[in-house]
């Protein structure tokens, strides 16, 4: 798929998400906003409707900066009431709406904001749809001092962790990208990885799976 086709699909998904939430916006609405190129398209559309809602909670410094540049009010999660909608992209999406996220390294805050939201709407281009998760290397955020320990444990789980060198998360931590992981039961693997001391969060979103997926295609959008 060419880059421009993919970009058009992302825009389609982002615009369809905006259409979906538009009737529900009110002066009290707080939105959760994810991170990545597809979310950037959503923010680009959202700026046209900023008079219809109260504020946004961002899952990364990058998205917070983009929202602020459009004069959209950004608030801290601790200051937010229940978030009505969380809108974010994904790196892989299975038929059960379980995701792999974290390609951009924002997975921990993304999971937190998703958990604080009533409805998680995942937007993506069609290439993100998979039958089984795991071709995309699974991002795992770790405390820096635990990198080798976590890596050894991930090898025991059958993965091949590679340190994302020269990358620090917004939380001051590091990322291991786990290749070749056989993810038969996403919820089980998500919990097993979370149990390794030093792991902050991993990119499997099974417990925080999407409530609605909107995939952009060449003909329009698919929702499931
Ligand atoms: C960032 C993410 C992104 O949502 C994911 O990487 C998809 O990004 P894009 O919309 O650029 O394809 O999880 O941590």
- pLDDT in the model for residue 81: 84
pLDDT at 1: 75
Percent of the chain with pLDDT over 90: 98
- The predicted-structure confidence for 22-36, as pLDDT tens digits, reads as follows 999 999 999 999 999
Catalytic residues: 110
How far, in Å, from the CA of 103 to the mean position of ligand 1? 5
Q: Residue 123 — left, alpha, or beta (φ > 0 → left; ψ -120 to 50 → alpha)? A: beta
Structural contact between residues 205 and 99, judged by C-beta atoms closer than 8 angstroms: yes
Which residue minimizes the CA distance to atom 1 of ligand 1? 104
Contact between 189 and 156 (Cβ < 8 Å): no
| Ligand 1 neighbourhood includes 91 CB (under 6 angstroms) | yes
Give the C-alpha distances (Å, rounded to integers) separating 32 from 87, 93, 105: 6, 19, 17
If you measure from the C-alpha of residue 192 to the centroid of ligand 1, how many angstroms do you get, rounded to a whole number? Answer: 23
Ligand 1 atom index nearest CA of 34: 4
pLDDT tens-place string over residues 35-64: 999 999 999 999 999 999 999 999 999 999
**Numbers of helices and strands, H then E, in the chain:** 6, 13
The per-residue pLDDT for range 191-223, each reduced to its tens digit, is 999 999 999 999 999 999 999 999 999 999 999
CA of 90 to the centre of ligand 1 (A): 5
């Amino acid at each position: 798929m060419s880059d421009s086709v993919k970009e058009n699909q992302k825009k389609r998904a982002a615009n369809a998400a905006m259409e979906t939430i538009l009737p529900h916006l009110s002066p009290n609405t707080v939105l959760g906003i994810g991170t990545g190129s597809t979310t950037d398209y959503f923010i680009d559309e959202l700026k046209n409707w900023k008079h219809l809602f109260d504020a946004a909670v961002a899952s990364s410094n990058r998205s917070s900066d983009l929202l602020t540049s459009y004069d959209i009010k950004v608030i801290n999660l601790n200051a937010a009431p229940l978030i009505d909608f969380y809108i974010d992209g994904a790196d892989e999406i299975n038929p059960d709406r379980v995701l792999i996220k974290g390609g951009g390294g924002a997975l921990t805050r993304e999971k937190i904001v998703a958990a604080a939201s009533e409805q998680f709407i995942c937007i993506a281009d069609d290439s993100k749809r998979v039958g089984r998760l795991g071709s995309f290397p699974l991002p795992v955020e770790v405390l820096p001092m635990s990198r080798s320990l976590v890596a050894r444990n991930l090898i025991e789980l059958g993965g091949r962790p590679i340190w994302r060198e020269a990358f620090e998360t917004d939380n001051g931590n590091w990322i291991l990208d786990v290749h070749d992981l056989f993810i038969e039961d996403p919820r089980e693997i998500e919990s097993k990885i979370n149990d390794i001391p030093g792991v902050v969060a991993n990119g499997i979103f099974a417990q925080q799976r999407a409530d609605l997926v909107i995939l952009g295609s060449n003909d329009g959008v698919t929702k499931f």
